[in-house]
Structure 1
Amino acid sequence: MTARFLTPVVTLFDEFGKLDIQSNKNVYDHLIKGGIDGIVVMGSTGEFFNMPMSQQKELIDLAVGYINKRTKVYIGTSCMSIEDTIEMANYAHNAGADAVMIISPYYFSLSDESIEYFYNTVAAATEANIYLYNFPDRTGYDLSKEITLRLVRKNKNIVGYKDTVMVMAHTRALISLIKSEFPNFDVLSGFDENLVHNILCGGGGCIGGLSNLAPEIFSGWIKAVNNKDFDKMAEYQKIVDKMMKLYDIGTPFIPIVKKAMMVRGIDVKDYCTKPFLQANEKQTEQIIAVMKEINLL
């Protein structure tokens, strides 16, 4: 399987909380020009959790229509209810998305039976290809390898898995179990720095938010991986390890990424959904310091 790096793209808003149509188009062009392998709209970095369904549908139409097959488009269609998740998955599929990505309901921890019921019900009600999204720090529970295997056995349209965990042993065990029976199942890591480890374990690559800022770094890294150029792989690893400092500048990191994009000269604005605050002066200074360290300024 060819390694890929996908961007969980930021969503750009105006000061009133409406979609900034031109800024969203600008960032899609920026990512495509930078050689990224695919764009994930309304992942966690895309602030889906603060967007009403009507706005999500507006963004789906914008993204799929504007990107227009220039790269793969995946849509996060996660909702707290099964009914809304099915509605959004079908909307994205009918709009022309290549696949959807779904995190299971959060707030309460769920039993294994509840998790399986959720995904089985959604998968049976849509023709969309589905990427499971595991993010225990947000849901409060793990989408285990055993649950995943049962889901994949039952649902042909569950084709991949994003594993947003720092411990690579979790991802490695998942890859080992699932791909022994389903060799084409696509397992992607959710932290930028884990790309090479994921590939060496047999995974498909990564979905990482820092690629919003410098897609050319990550497309170059992927090229090195696919060419088995270990010196280049190590060179890019060192750059990305330094870039990871951006995640620690603010909580959440989304306004930091948007500000960094502005500092680099990408034609976007850094408004976020409430109550996320724009980067302050001190944080902006820290952003600039990291960008200078990796020669982005």
Structure 2
Amino acid sequence: MDSLPTRTNGTNASRGAQASPPPKGIYVPVPTFFAKEGTSAYDAVTPPLDLETQTEHSLFLVKGGIKGLVILGSTGEAIFLRSEERKELIASQRKALDDAGYKDRPIIAGTATQQIDDTLQLVKESKEAGAEYAMVLGPGYFAPSTSQLGIQKWFEAVADRSVLPVMIYHYPGVTNNLYIAPSTFEKLAAHPNIVGTKLSHGIIDDQTLIAANPRIDHEHFYVFTGLGQNLLPVLTIGGVAAIDGLAGVFPRIVVRLFRIYNDSAAKGTTKKDIDEMRLLQYRICEGEKLVAAWGVVGIKEALARVWDMGSKTGGRLPLAGGFQDGEKEWSKWAEVYQGLKKLEEQFKAEGKES
């Protein structure tokens, strides 16, 4: 179940073929890097892509044990990119991974449109650029008036016609609080071209009702948490892993928790394993507070300050500018992030995650 789909053969659910989910592991919703202030290419309104830093970050992640990349999700500022930029970004990172010997690391491309044909066009372009999966955000514009049947039919229409296997992206925070019920997930999980979900909310009982549902084929439909602070509890209820923002800064730390859980489950979990997992989850939760408070702005700030990667002010409007009071705000997080950096470097020296 953990093999990548063949890149040259698109999935066509209408033929009855059942698509495979992405390989189990920790994924990162990568930020999109833009040209820094002060460079010749910089434009304050629409700074161009910085593909050099994008590639630096991608390789930093996969060398740290990250299983694959989610490009053009919410953290990737997808709604601010033109179609040509989307294709250029995906293609550049597919080539960078392949050239560096990471052909086995899939790219999951995000879509965030309301209209079915527009969504399908983005999926088609993503596949042509080298993506292996599509992570499709729910249509939230009319969320208060949208029924569960309407949500089900919308995703089924996309999946029926999609040339890539589809993952459902459930993020109420950016979809006008659109709610997708566990019962709706149960129906959608039966679709041959819907292979999983990213649940970016903290409703642990709903996560349980999806990840532990005995009526869902969990070899075909994978549940990922979008919150690293929920990783350990989600693993215990049947989720496979996380698509996590903090892992974009400290990949080895999040990967280590995932691996300890799976290794200990295979050999027999000891008290030492439990203590180590609890401590790692605690450290992850400390770091995730910045991600929860600031989203992509905080992730870019952390990458620039901790690893000198990208720019603290590297977003597009209205996210350009970073923290409004940079030094004062960072001082709230600096101690935690320096501690996480030391732990990340310790794990790198041990060499277990790459």
- TM-score normalized by the length of structure 2: 0.78
Root mean square deviation of aligned Cα: 2.0
- In structure 1, the partner of 2:71 is 41
Structure 1 residue 249: Cα displacement:
4.9
8 Å CA contact retained: 1:127, 1:157: no
- In structure 1, the partner of 2:129 is 95
Larger radius of gyration: 2
- In structure 2, the partner of 1:267 is 309
Structure 1 residue 61: Cα displacement:
1.4
Question: Could you list the per-position Cα deviations for residues 50-95 of structure 1 after superposition, in whole angstroms to 9, with x for gaps in the alignment?
Answer: 2222221221212222222252211112322211110111222233
8 Å CA contact retained: 1:242, 1:294: no
Letter in 2 for 1:230: I
Residues in 2 aligned to 1:235 and 1:103: alpha-carbon distance in whole angstroms: 33
8 Å CA contact retained: 1:26, 1:268: no
Letter in 1 for 2:109: I
- In structure 2, the partner of 1:10 is 31
8 Å CA contact retained: 2:70, 2:108: yes
Runs (4+) off by over 4 Å: none
Question: Could you list the per-position Cα deviations for residues 90-149 of structure 1 after superposition, in whole angstroms to 9, with x for gaps in the alignment?
Answer: 222233322110012222212223212321221111231111011122222211122222
Residues in 1 aligned to 2:231 and 2:292: alpha-carbon distance in whole angstroms: 19
Q: Secondary structure at the match of 1:227?
A: helix
Residues in 1 aligned to 2:137 and 2:76: alpha-carbon distance in whole angstroms: 14
2:333 to 281, 287, 296: 287
Residues in 2 aligned to 1:111 and 1:226: alpha-carbon distance in whole angstroms: 38
- TM-score normalized by the length of structure 1: 0.92
- In structure 2, the partner of 1:31 is 61
8 Å CA contact retained: 1:3, 1:226: no
- In structure 2, the partner of 1:241 is 285
- In structure 1, the partner of 2:19 is none
- In structure 1, the partner of 2:172 is 136
- In structure 2, the partner of 1:81 is 115
Gaps of 5+ in 2: 2-22, 36-41, 265-272, 344-354
8 Å CA contact retained: 1:23, 1:269: no
Moved more, 129-138 or 285-294: 285-294
Letter in 1 for 2:152: E
Moved more, 18-27 or 55-64: 55-64
Structure 1 residue 21: Cα displacement:
1.0
Percent of aligned pairs with the same amino acid = 26
Gaps of 5+ in 1: none
